């Protein structure tokens, strides 16, 4: 009897290591971080145990720790004081606004020892919680006004570049956002600032804990601008458009429910591809392991390996610092 035996290549740790295809590496991991205005101690985020809203001091400490662990980049989000939010996200373009301040702190603290990235989106700064400014369509419906929002994104990206961000990351899914940001950056001499485009971003319920993390005041949903989880083709179109507009890196988000999309994008993209293991993915692993239902470390490693195997060159994950420690 001749049995074909794939098990031969699984027989010992050494042979498994020899033939392993996907390897998440510390340098592929990016840590999302939050800096909050008006707090004197780091604040726990109840739905994301182990993740904090940072003060200026604790941001420095956490950034240094992440750099020591060898991670590839830091993605910073700003959390303004509730009373500073308004309908057009004024604080987002204030050079002294909390996010721009945080970028300056990162630049002073870690310089070019890692890659400093900033979220280019209005939702943390608007009182209505949407990713853009509101307006009305021709039928009188209230909408997020695409083209008015683009102007805010261009200003926001410029302030982030001035503060020292090497990467700006438009995450609002407005049409034309990459082109307008590119033009604004180039016109001010920031030709070398990189655009990481959230190209295929789905309207996902798995962002729930993130809304806690940034104190979001969103009522309603983002279904009229982020993608419908039913659709795959649309992602390829979004990626194509962002590439034509000048995206340097494209992203798929969330990661776990959308590994098929990630695979398709990775197969065709001529630029590096990122994937975001979002807050809800983190929260599920944390909750299930706290309950003793799953092995935390193995599940984290398996999730990162799967995202890598599906084609991500870069993984944004709240586990970046911790996982980098294991992977080194
Ligand atoms: C928008 C933004 C969001 C996330 C990253 N950038 C929230 C949203 O689109 O509603 C979610 C990240 C996560 O859930 O971890 N600024």
Ligand 1 probe mutation, 128, 207, 279, most atoms within 8 A of CB: 207
Q: Which atom in ligand 1 lies closest to the alpha carbon of residue 121?
A: 16
The residue nearest atom 2 of ligand 1, judged by CA position, is 171
Alpha-helical regions (H) of 20-145: 56-68, 98-110
Q: Which position has the token pair 């979001």? A: 216
> Quick check: helix, strand or coil at residue 198?
strand
The mean pLDDT of 40-44, rounded to a whole number, is: 97
The mean pLDDT of 318-328, rounded to a whole number, is: 96
pLDDT digits (tens, 9 = 90+) for 48-75: 999 999 999 999 999 999 999 999 999 9
pLDDT digits (tens, 9 = 90+) for 7-27: 999 999 999 999 999 999 999
| Rounded distance from Cα 89 to ligand 1 centre (Å) | 16
Whether residue 203 contacts residue 234, with contact meaning beta carbons closer than 8 Å, is answered with: no
Per-residue pLDDT, 268: 96
* Residues classed as catalytic: 201, 253
Eight-class DSSP state of 232: S
For 296, phi then psi, to 5°, come to: -55, -55
Per-residue pLDDT, 219: 86
Whether residue 246 contacts residue 179, with contact meaning beta carbons closer than 8 Å, is answered with: yes
**Averaged pLDDT of the chain:** 97
Q: Supply 270's token pair.
A: 């001529």
> pLDDT at residue 328 above 90?
no
| Rounded distance from Cα 304 to ligand 1 centre (Å) | 19
Q: Which atom in ligand 1 lies closest to the alpha carbon of residue 210?
A: 14
Instruction: Give 217's pLDDT tier (boundaries 50, 70, 90).
Output: confident
| Rounded distance from Cα 8 to ligand 1 centre (Å) | 44
Contacts of 165 (CB under 8 A, 6+ apart): 76, 103, 116, 117, 118, 193
Q: Supply 264's token pair.
A: 């398709």
> Quick check: helix, strand or coil at residue 35?
strand
pLDDT digits (tens, 9 = 90+) for 185-204: 999 999 999 999 999 999 99
> pLDDT at residue 290 above 90?
yes
Alpha-helical regions (H) of the chain: 13-19, 56-68, 98-110, 146-163, 177-187, 208-213, 233-245, 259-268, 279-290, 296-309, 320-327
pLDDT digits (tens, 9 = 90+) for 157-189: 999 999 999 999 999 999 999 999 999 999 999
Q: Is the pTM of this model over 0.95?
A: yes
**pLDDT above 90: percentage of residues in the chain:** 98
For ligand 1, residues with CB inside 6 Å are 119, 121, 123, 131, 171, 207, 210, 222, 278-279
| Rounded distance from Cα 219 to ligand 1 centre (Å) | 15
The residue nearest atom 8 of ligand 1, judged by CA position, is 207
Per-residue pLDDT, 1: 82
| Rounded distance from Cα 188 to ligand 1 centre (Å) | 28
Nearest one of 66, 68, 40, 70 to 53, comparing CA atoms: 40
Q: Which atom in ligand 1 lies closest to the alpha carbon of residue 318?
A: 15
The residue nearest atom 5 of ligand 1, judged by CA position, is 171
């Amino acid at each position: 009897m001749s049995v074909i035996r794939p098990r031969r290549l699984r027989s010992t740790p050494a042979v498994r290591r020899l033939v392993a295809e996907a390897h998440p590496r510390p340098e592929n991991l990016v840590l999302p971080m939050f800096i909050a205005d008006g707090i004197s101690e780091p604040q726990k985020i109840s739905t994301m145990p182990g993740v904090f809203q940072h003060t200026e001091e604790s941001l420095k400490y956490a950034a240094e720790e992440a750099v020591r662990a060898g991670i590839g980049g830091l993605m910073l989000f700003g959390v303004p004081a509730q009373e500073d939010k308004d309908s057009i996200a004024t604080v987002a373009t204030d050079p002294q606004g909390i996010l721009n301040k945080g970028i300056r702190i990162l630049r002073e603290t870690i310089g070019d020892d890692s890659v400093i990235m900033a979220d280019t989106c209005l939702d943390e700064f608007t009182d209505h919680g949407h990713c853009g400014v509101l307006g009305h369509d021709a039928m009188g419906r209230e909408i997020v006004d695409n083209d008015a929002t683009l102007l805010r994104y261009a200003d926001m990206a410029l302030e982030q570049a001035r503060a020292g961000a090497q990467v700006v990351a438009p995450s609002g899914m407005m049409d034309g956002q990459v082109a307008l940001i590119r033009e604004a950056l180039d016109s001010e001499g920031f030709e070398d600032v990189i655009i990481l485009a959230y190209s295929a971003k789905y309207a996902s319920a798995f962002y729930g804990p993130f809304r806690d993390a940034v104190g979001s005041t969103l009522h309603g949903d983002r279904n009229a601008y982020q993608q419908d989880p039913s659709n795959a083709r649309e992602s390829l179109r979004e990626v194509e458009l962002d590439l034509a507009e000048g995206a340097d890196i494209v992203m798929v988000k969330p990661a776990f429910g959308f590994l098929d999309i990630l695979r398709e994008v990775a197969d065709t993209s001529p630029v590096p591809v990122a994937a975001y293991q979002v807050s809800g993915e983190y929260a599920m692993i944390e909750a299930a392991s706290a309950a003793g239902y799953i092995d935390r470390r193995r599940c984290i490693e398996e999730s990162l390996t799967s995202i890598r195997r599906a084609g991500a060159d870069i993984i944004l994950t709240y586990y970046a610092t911790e996982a980098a420690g294991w992977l080194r």
